[in-house]
Amino acid sequence: MLTALSIRDVVLIEALDLDFGAGLGVLTGETGAGKSILLDALGLALGGRGDSGLVRHGAVQAVVTASFDPPTPALAAMLDENGVEVEPGEPLLVRRVVKADGGSRAFINNQPASATLLREIAPRLVEIHGQHDDRGLLNARGHRALLDDFGRCDPADTTRAWATLRDAEAALTAARAEIETAARDREWLEHTVAELEKLAAEPGEEEALADKRRSMQRAEKVTDDLSAIEDYLDGSDGGLAKLRQAARVLERVAEDHPALADALGAVDRAVIEGSVAEERLREARFALVYDPRALEDDEARLFELRAMARKHRVQPDDLAALSADLSARLQRLEAGEGGVATLQATVAKARAAYDKAADALTARRLAAAKGLDRAVAGELAPLKLGAARFRTVVAPAAPDNWSGAGKDRVEFEISTNPGAPFAPLTKIASGGELSRFILALKVALADQGGAATIVFDEIDRGVGGAVASAIGERLARLAKATQLLVVTHSPQVAARGAAHLLIAKSNDGTVTRTGVRQLTDTERREEIARMLSGATITDEARAQADRLLEPDDIALPLPS
C-alpha cells in the first residue's frame, strides 16, 4: 500500500508531502488545477520516463519519493536478486531524481537502482488506470492467469505433464541424433572399439608401468656395483670372512691385555654390522632385479598406452572409460530402431497424459469464462454500458505456444453496440468506456488480488447522476479489499471517499504553484457542493452534498 508521497520541484509543485491511508482516497479540484501532475509524479517514481520538462522552472532537479508498506516475500526476493537489500518489516522507499539538464537517477531504499527495475516492480505496487492505459487488465498476456485465478483453475497437473512430455521428447531427439551420428561413424566406431578392447587398458596401469620401468632402469645401472660390493663382503676372501677370522684369533688372546678385549668387542660389532649390510644388500638386489626382456615388454606396453591416449586425446587412465563409452554407443547403434521405438512409445504416453491434463484445464477455463462473463455483465448496465457485451475468449493456441499452462489462448473482448463485432478493449472502447470496463473487470476479479494500490484517473469522465453513483458505489466496495486513489470530477464519487484531497492552483503574482491538502469534514462538504453547483455554491448544493455524504448502509456483495 502507498503510505506517503513526497514531491519536490515537479512542474508547478514546489514542495508537497502527502500521507495516504487504506480505503478509498479521492482527489478533486478545478480543471487545470494540476491533478495530472500528481499522477505524473507518482508515475515518475515508478519508473516512468525521466523527462527534464517535469523539472519546475528555475529548479536544478525534480525529486519524487514514494513510500510503501514492507514488500511481500516475493517482491523482496525479486529485489534481492537485483542487488537491492531490504530489511524485513521495513517500508519500501522508491525515489527518482530528474535533473534539469536531462539526466535521471533511481533509488530503492536509498540504494542505487535502474529505472528498468522500477518499472519491473511497479505492477506489484501500483496499478494506474487512465484513459490511455495499455497495461494491467488490458494486456492480453495476463488474461489467462486472471481467468485461472478467478475460476481457481490450477494448472499444476498440466505443468507436470508438460515437463514429463518435454523430457521424453528431449530423450527421443537425443537418441535419434546419436544414432544418426553413430551411423555415419559406424566403421570408425567398430574399429576403435575393437582396438580399445584389444588394448584392454586399466585405470592406474600407466603409472604402475612407469614406476616398474624406472625401478628396472635403476637396477640396470647399479647391478655391477652391487656385485662388486658383494664380492668385497662375501666369500672366503671377503671382508666379513676375514673379520670373523680376526675375531677368532682375538678370542684366544683377549685375556692377555685389556686393549685386546676392547679390540675383540670392536671386531664383533663390525661383524654384526657387516652382516646387517650383507642382508640389506641382498634385499636391494632382490628388489632391483633387472630383466632386460621384462623391461622391454613393459616399455612396449607403456608406449602403446600413451600412444593410444594421444590418439584419442584423453589421459591414459581414461582409456578404459572411453572404451566402455564407445562400446555402449556401438551397442545402442546396433539396437537401432528398437531403442527409438521404446522412446517413441514413452513420448506417445507422455503426450496423451499432457493432452488429458490440458483438455481438463481447458474445460475448467471454459466454465470459469462463463462465470466471469456473467459477473462482468452484471456490472455493465449500472455503469451505463448496458448495450455493451463482454466475453472471455478461450481459444486453442498454436502448438508452438503450448506450455505448462496449457493449450489455450485467453483474451477479454467487448462489443460496445448491438450487432457490433467483438474486439479487444483498447481497439473499440472510448476513454470513458474503457475506464468503466476496467472498473467492471476489477469488481468481478476483486478476490483475485493484484497490486496493493489502484489509481483510477477520471474514471467518471462524461457520466453523471445514477452512473456516477454506481461508479462510486463500486469503488467503495473495491476499497474494502485494496487501497484506491481516484481522481474525479464527480460529486457522487467524491462523497464515497474515506479521505478527500483537494488539488488547487495558486498565484502570488509572480509564481504559479499547485498544492494539495486534505479536507476537513466541513471543507469536504463545501468542495462537493462546488462540484455540484459550480463557481457559486448555493444552499441547495450544500443540502445535496449533505445527502451524498450521509452513510450508506447498503453494501452489495462483490461478484463471486
Question: Is 162:403 a contact under the CB 8 Å cutoff?
Answer: yes
**Distance (Å, whole) CA 217 – CA 249:** 44
Please say if the pLDDT value at position 522 is more than 60.
Answer: yes
The answer to whether 94 and 118 are in contact (CB under 8 A) is yes
CA-to-CA distance for 82 and 96, rounded, in angstroms?
17
Nearest to 359 by CA among 144, 161, 163: 161
Residue 290's pLDDT is 61
Q: Work out the pLDDT band at 35, boundaries 50, 70, 90.
A: confident
CA–CA separation, 517 and 537 (whole Å): 20
- How would residue 130 be classed by pLDDT, with cut points 50, 70 and 90? low
CA distance 85 to 108: 9
* Alpha carbon distance 66, 74 (integer Å): 20
**DSSP 3-state of 415:** strand
Name 404's Cβ contacts closer than 8 Å, sequence gap at least 6: 155, 158, 159, 160, 162, 163
Cell of 395: 481459444
Per the model's pLDDT, the better-predicted residue between 411 and 444 turns out to be 411
**Residue 131 pLDDT greater than 80, yes or no:** no
User: Which cell is 510 given?
Assistant: 509572480
Confidence of residue 448 (pLDDT cuts 50, 70, 90): low
Question: What percent of the chain has a predicted confidence (pLDDT) above 90?
Answer: 28
Q: What is the pLDDT of residue 70?
A: 92
Asked if residues 494 and 528 have their Cβ atoms less than 8 Å apart, the reply is yes
Lowest mean pLDDT among 109-118, 211-220, 422-431, 500-509: 422-431
**pTM attached to this predicted model:** 0.60
Confidence label for 202 from pLDDT (cuts 50, 70 and 90): confident
* Residue 185 reports pLDDT greater than 80: no
Grid coordinates of 521: 469534514
Bridge partners of residue 62, in order along the sequence: 98
List, as own/partner pairs, every contact residues 155-159 make where C-beta atoms lie below 8 angstroms and the sequence separation is at least 24, other chains included: 155/361, 155/404, 155/405, 155/406, 157/357, 157/360, 157/361, 158/354, 158/357, 158/358, 158/360, 158/361, 158/404, 158/405, 158/406, 159/404, 159/405
The yes-or-no verdict on residue 134 having pLDDT over 50 is: no
AA identity, residue 350? A
pLDDT tens digits, 343-354: 999 999 999 999
Q: Which domains does the chain have, with CATH numbers?
A: 2-130+416-549 (3.40.50.300), 186-335 (no CATH)
Interval 499-528 mean pLDDT: 87
List helix spans (H) across 313-399. Answer: 319-335, 337-380
Which of 99-103, 156-160, 378-382, 551-555 comes out lowest in average pLDDT?
551-555
What integer pLDDT is reported at residue 560 of this predicted model?
Answer: 41
* Mean pLDDT for the chain overall: 85
Nearest CA to 66 among 449, 450, 453? 453
Per-residue pLDDT at 559 exceeds 70: no
pLDDT at 135 exceeding the cut of 80: no
Q: What is the rounded distance in angstroms from the CA atom of residue 331 to the CA atom of residue 326? A: 9
Lowest mean pLDDT among 29-43, 186-200, 488-502: 29-43
Cβ–Cβ under 8 Å, residues 501 and 34: no
CA-CA distance, 153 to 143, in Å (whole number)? Answer: 13
356 compared with 291, residue with greater pLDDT:
356
- Asked if residue 557 has pLDDT above 50, the reply is no
C-alpha cell belonging to residue 261: 678385549
In the predicted model, what is the mean pLDDT of residues 109-121?
A: 91
Q: How confident is the model at residue 425 (pLDDT cuts 50, 70, 90)?
A: confident
DSSP H or E stretch at residue 128 = strand 126-129
Those residues whose C-beta lies under 8 Å from the C-beta of residue 121, and which sit 6 or more positions away, are 75, 78, 79, 94, 108
Decide if pLDDT at 450 tops 50. Answer: yes
Residue 243, pLDDT score: 83
Mean pLDDT of 404-426: 87
Q: Tell me the pLDDT band of 132, cut-offs 50, 70 and 90.
A: very low
In this prediction, residue 495 carries a pLDDT of 92
Give CA–CA dist 552/337, Å, rounded: 76
Q: What is the pLDDT of residues 63-103, one digit of tens each?
A: 999 999 999 888 888 998 898 988 888 999 999 999 998 88
Query: Residue 493 pLDDT > 60, yes or no?
Result: yes
- Looking at residue 26, what DSSP letter applies? E
Edge-to-edge strand ranges of the sheet holding 453-457: 126-129, 453-457, 483-487, 24-28, 499-507, 512-518
- Better-predicted residue by pLDDT, 310 or 334: 310
For residue 13, which of 45, 48, 54 has the smallest C-alpha distance?
54
User: Cell 505448462, residue?
Assistant: 404
Q: Has residue 276 got a pLDDT over 90? A: no
Mean pLDDT confidence for 13-25? 90
State how far the Cα of 68 lies from the Cα of 375, in Å rounded to an integer.
32
Mean pLDDT of 544-555: 74
Cα–Cα distance between 23 and 43 in angstroms, integer? 21
Top mean-pLDDT range of 174-183, 247-256, 309-318: 309-318
Identify whether the C-beta of residue 425 lies closer than 8 Å to the C-beta of residue 413. yes
Q: Which of 22-31, 210-219, 239-248, 536-545 has the lowest mean pLDDT?
A: 210-219
**Residue 339 contacts by C-beta under 8 Å, 6 or more apart in sequence?**
175, 179, 332
Give the chain's length.
560
For residue 213 the three cell numbers come to 620401468
Q: Give, in order, the Cα–Cα distances in Å from 94 to each of 56, 84, 113, 119, 527.
A: 20, 12, 9, 11, 32
Q: How far apart are CA 402 and CA 350, in angstroms?
A: 14
Task: Find, among 553, 388, 537, 516, the residue nearest to 25 by Cα.
Answer: 516
Partner residues linked to 27 by β-bridges: 487, 501
The rounded distance, in Å, linking the Cα atoms of 143 and 446 is: 14
In angstroms, rounded to a whole number, what is the distance separating the alpha carbons of residues 35 and 501?
A: 10
484, 24 contact by CB (below 8 A): yes
- Give mean pLDDT, residues 259-274: 86
**What gap in Å lies between CA 543 and CA 344, rounded to an integer?**
79
Full DSSP string of 44-90: HHTT----GGGBPTT-SEEEEEEEESPPPHHHHHHHHHTT----TTP
